[in-house]
Amino acid sequence: MKKTLLVMVLLVSAHQLFAFSTQGKWRWRKDDGSETSATWTAAENTAITINNTNDPLRLRITLYNSGASGTGGFLDGAQFEDSSNLPGAKWTKITVDPGTNAFAYQNTSTNVTDLEATTKQLSTPVTGFTFVDGWVFLSTEVAPSLTLGKKQFTEFEYCIKATANIQPNTTYYFRVDAAEYPNGLVFPTLTTAAVLPIKLANFSVQPDNNHVKLVWTTATELNNDHFDVERSADAASWKTVVTVKGNGTSSNAHNYQALDINPVKGMNYYRIKQYDVNGKAYVSEIRSLKMFAGNSSINVFPNPAKKNINFSIVNSLADAAVTLTNSNGKVIHHETIQNIQANINYSLKLNTQPMPGVYILHLESKGFSESIKVVVE
């Protein structure tokens, strides 16, 4: 009986600890400035939609002492939580280690420091209330001790980032767990776009005669059904040019490649859209390549080459990256040549003589990207 009473006392004490800490107004901002200067992305109590999960986020939340008298509003041990369910159905504590969570603390930032003091940035929750410094949370998961006196309020700012576990077309809610939530409270909210970005290692596009070769790598895969390689002439309207089967679920790295056999004349933009088995889609960053029709602006001589690879170009270029790749797309030589002049002969500074075979010589400069086939005997 005594043990039961002790437990009840502890539970009552724990409830009273946070009895007068009420969660109030909130606002989203970018991690592009200091505690006072970072850009707000929406008005107070206004949800946002994100379609780029690579950019960190900062969420400002007001907490105030809603007690009628005396002191209260203890915030010792307050932690930050999110939920992809309706508010209150299931909350998950946000930590530095993402684990299986959709969000994690940023841990590092060039704009703010962990536990630096906050200044008043949001509107006063109740007329006549006075502000008390809070903290910016960059890596600290549990708030230090803070007591809000009568008619006092503070602001906590949480610096978070999306993880690989985030889901598209989903609404996420956020709260401070050491707080009360009045009826009608609008929880901090964000919604993810229907298609979210993915990060692919070694994603590149390169000319392959009159075609375009795309190469990319996945470190791990989860329920990966397939990839659609999409091309656009304006980076706005996209068309699927080839589909590549995925490897389902795997903890191993996988290399992929695809060939666009009909690129358009001029600039071609490419992206990889990956589909899960449940139909959810994720899209990569965009890569571009300029293709030319008809005769090449590059002249290689002699071709076939026997020893040296010499070339000239029709128009002058500023600094140009010159790359020689073999038929498998492996770069065997790369150099930068400054101020290439029209109709002047240049020779590649090869460290070793290429083995007999077919190669691609590619020149890349500002506003110029062109390739030509080279045969080495």
- Please state, as a whole number, how many other Cβ atoms lie within 10 Å of the Cβ of residue 307: 12
**CB-CB contact of 112 with 121 (8 Å):** no
Cα 77 to Cα 145: distance, rounded to the nearest angstrom:
7
Query: 64-91, pLDDT tens digit by residue?
Result: 987 654 444 555 567 877 787 766 578 8
Beta bridge partners, 357, equal: 376
pLDDT on residue 207? 85
pLDDT on residue 76? 56
Query: 10-59, pLDDT tens digit by residue?
Result: 333 333 334 458 999 999 999 999 999 999 999 999 999 987 777 899 99
Cα 49 to Cα 273: distance, rounded to the nearest angstrom:
20
Domains of the chain: 2-195 (no CATH), 198-291 (2.60.40.10), 298-376 (2.60.40.3080)
**Among 143, 141, 60, 162, CA closest to 94:** 141
Using a 10 angstrom Cβ sphere, with 0-12 exposed, 13-18 middle and 19 or more buried, the burial of residue 77 is: middle
Tokens of 365: 């400069």
**Among 86, 80, 73, CA closest to 180:** 73
Query: 183-204, pLDDT tens digit by residue?
Result: 888 899 999 887 766 667 788 9
Cα 365 to Cα 324: distance, rounded to the nearest angstrom:
15
**CB-CB contact of 368 with 361 (8 Å):** no
Tokens of 270: 């490419």
Cα 274 to Cα 259: distance, rounded to the nearest angstrom:
17
Whether the pTM exceeds 0.85: the reply is: no
